[in-house]
């Protein structure tokens, strides 16, 4: 009988070891009560498959994405340079993260500051594990034949052209994937990007997450799948706003797989 392992880079380095991939947890993954379950689900999958990974643990800091999008370049670069020093110190080559904002920032914006890594989103990582046969989805179970819709997050989709990996995962689950009218390149934002997560919206006639949730509910899906911590929060709030929280779940892709695997 053994328990799940979550090694840190510091522990690995002390043992003279280095993992294949760094799992970048992100602030939401570390602190958000609901989203911690996604981090835990992903770690369980990594354990189950036997992926050699580690996390930075307390050495991780915000990538700086919201500061940069809100205009505070100094603060962004302070965060980024400090993170890059830590990562380069551990000689990290490959990074996986469940947060599209962290993904975009580390992948596209850290190179200009001296941080060059191969960065992949957890949807791509999970898809490749499925393709390699390292995860064999059972199908059936509680999702069998149910309708699932996928909400594209802007920083995964339009920002980085990742549209198919999340859909491949859902299709592998023996469920019915139903698309919203505004999907893929035309996907509607959940309303949280560009640092909007951290302030109230400007005056308007509606909240963006409600507009998007209505569209998701109109597909008849009982599960709204997302691949982003901010989208998860916004869509969950939207479902509550529409008083559908007893009928409709908002879940992350990693949770879908963990559930299928009985983890």
> Would you say 28 or 169 has its CB closer to other proteins?
28
Measure CA of the first residue to CA of the last residue in the chain; give whole Å. Answer: 15
When the beta carbons of 145 and 262 are compared against other proteins, the nearer one is 262
Q: Exposed (0-12), middle (13-18) or buried (19+): which is 207, by Cβ within 10 Å? A: middle
- Asked if residue 57 binds other proteins (CB under 8 A), the reply is yes
The nearer residue to other proteins, 47 or 146, going by C-beta atoms, is 47
User: Residue 228 and residue 212: Cα distance in Å, rounded?
Assistant: 15
Give 44 or 146: the residue with its C-beta nearer to other proteins: 44
C-alpha separations of 174 from 22, 48, 139, 146, 147 in Å: 30, 21, 5, 9, 10
Q: Which listed range, 104-112, 123-131, 219-227, 240-248, lies at the site for other proteins (CB under 8 A)?
A: 104-112
Interface with other proteins, residue 43, by CB under 8 A:
yes
Interacting residues with other proteins between 12 and 41 (CB under 8 A):
25, 27, 29-31, 36, 39-40
Helix (H) or strand (E) holding 97: strand 94-97
Q: By CB under 8 A, name the one of 66, 115, 166, 238 that touches other proteins.
A: 66
Determine the 3-state secondary structure of 182 from DSSP: coil
State the minimum distance, in angstroms, from the CB of residue 63 to other proteins: 10
- Window 198-227: residues binding other proteins (CB under 8 A): 198-208, 211-212
Q: How far is the CB of 128 from other proteins (least distance, A)?
A: 20
**Axis-axis angle for helices 208-218, 229-241 (nearest 10):** 80
**Nearest CA to 16 among 96, 71, 90?**
90
Using CB under 8 A as the binding rule, whether residue 50 contacts other proteins is answered as no
Q: Is 74 in the site for other proteins (CB under 8 A)?
A: yes
Task: Tell me the C-alpha distance between 214 and 23, whole Å.
Answer: 33
Q: How far is the CB of 25 from other proteins (least distance, A)?
A: 7
Scan for tokens 């569209």, then name that residue: 215
Q: Are 160 and 104 in contact (CB under 8 A)?
A: yes
Name the residue nearer to other proteins (CB basis): 127 or 160.
160
Q: Quick one: 68 or 167, whose CB is closer to other proteins? A: 68
Instruction: Check binding of 241 to other proteins (CB under 8 A).
Output: no
Shortest approach of other proteins to residue 141 CB, angstroms?
14
- Relative to beta strand 223-226, strand 118-121 is unpaired
For other proteins (CB under 8 A), the number of binding residues is: 82
**Cα atoms in the Cβ-side hemisphere of radius 13 Å centred on 174:** 11
Residue number, 141 or 194, with CB nearest to other proteins:
194
Beta strands in 99-245 (DSSP E): 118-121, 147-150, 176-177, 223-226
Among 52, 118, 131, 185, binds other proteins (CB under 8 A): 185
CB closer to other proteins, 133 vs 262:
262
9 sits near other proteins (criterion: CB under 8 A) = no
């Amino acid at each position: 009988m053994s328990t799940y392992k979550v090694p840190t880079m510091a522990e690995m380095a002390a043992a003279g070891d280095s993992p294949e991939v760094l799992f970048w947890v992100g602030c939401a993954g570390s602190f958000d009560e609901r989203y911690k379950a996604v981090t835990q689900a992903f770690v369980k999958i990594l354990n189950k498959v036997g992926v050699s990974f580690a996390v930075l643990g307390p050495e991780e800091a915000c990538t700086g994405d919201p500061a940069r999008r809100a205009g505070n370049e100094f603060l962004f670069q302070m965060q980024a340079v400090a993170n890059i020093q830590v990562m380069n110190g551990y000689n990290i080559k490959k990074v996986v993260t469940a947060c599209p904002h962290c993904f975009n920032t580390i992948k596209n914006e850290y190179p200009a500051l001296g941080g060059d890594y191969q960065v992949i989103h957890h949807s791509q990582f999970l898809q490749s594990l499925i393709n390699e046969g390292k995860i064999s989805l059972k199908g059936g179970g509680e999702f069998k034949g149910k309708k699932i819709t996928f909400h594209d997050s802007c920083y995964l989709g339009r920002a980085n052209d990742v549209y198919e990996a999340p859909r491949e995962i859902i299709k592998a689950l023996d469920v019915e994937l139903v698309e919203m009218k505004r999907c893929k390149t035309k996907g509607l934002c959940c309303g949280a990007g560009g640092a909007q997560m951290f302030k109230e919206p400007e005056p308007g006639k509606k909240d963006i997450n409600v507009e998007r949730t209505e569209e998701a509910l109109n597909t008849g899906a009982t599960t709204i799948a997302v691949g982003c911590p901010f989208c998860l929060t916004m869509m969950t709030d939207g479902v509550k706003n529409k008083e559908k929280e007893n009928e409709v779940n908002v879940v992350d892709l990693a949770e879908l797989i963990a559930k299928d695997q009985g983890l």
